[in-house]
Structure 1
């Protein structure tokens, strides 16, 4: 029984490592490709920093960044809106008010 638990924990940990590895690979590709695209599309060699205000340069990083954000949320699962601290405060508030019977 203990061996089965250990194997389950190992599989979960391995899956988690693979998910994080995938995110970091995605992030690395995002940085490298977008820096490369900005340098090429801005015509940096001829124009210098004069062309960097062109909004067309930032379409790919913006939309890819949105996808990268959702990948981050999927992998690291931050509960931004309803965090553990919020849950604990809400539970204590409901208990303090004594309104626990209203919810069942």
Structure 2
């Protein structure tokens, strides 16, 4: 796979990375603003059953995964994995094309 080192290509990749980081910070801000409301509603309406932990932990896991992806620490589905899968699908398609000929 050929890498585009032109100024335009570098600008596009940098802009895309900044957008990913901005979206993560927006996601984090919503998490930090909404969960205190969930906690307050839980404690005011049914203090005997603390369900706000589900929101904190479930959404917290999503925040951590989003942050890992936004800052390039994606151990499972990274660029190398994407390139391998693209190559794999292209090879399968080529083999299927040969069987039809």
TM-score range, shorter chain: 0.5 to 0.7
Off by >4 Å, runs of 4+ in structure 1: none
Following the alignment from structure 2 to structure 1, what is the Cα–Cα distance between the partners of residues 74 and 34?
Answer: 29
Aligned residues: 71
Q: Does 1:78 align with 2:73?
A: yes
Following the alignment from structure 2 to structure 1, what is the Cα–Cα distance between the partners of residues 74 and 40?
Answer: 36
The residue that corresponds to 1:23 in the other structure is 24
Q: Deviations over 1:4-61 (max 9, x none)?
A: 71111110110011100100000000010101111121119xxxxxx4x854221111
Cα RMSD, aligned residues only: 2.5
Q: Unmatched 5+ residue regions in structure 1?
A: 45-50, 81-104
Q: Unmatched 5+ residue regions in structure 2?
A: 76-101
Higher alpha-carbon Rg: 1
Using structure 2 for the length normalisation, give the TM-score. 0.60
RCO higher in 1 or 2 (8 Å CA, sep ≥ 6)?
A: 1
Using structure 1 for the length normalisation, give the TM-score. 0.59
The residue that corresponds to 2:92 in the other structure is none
The residue that corresponds to 1:42 in the other structure is 43
More helix by share: 1
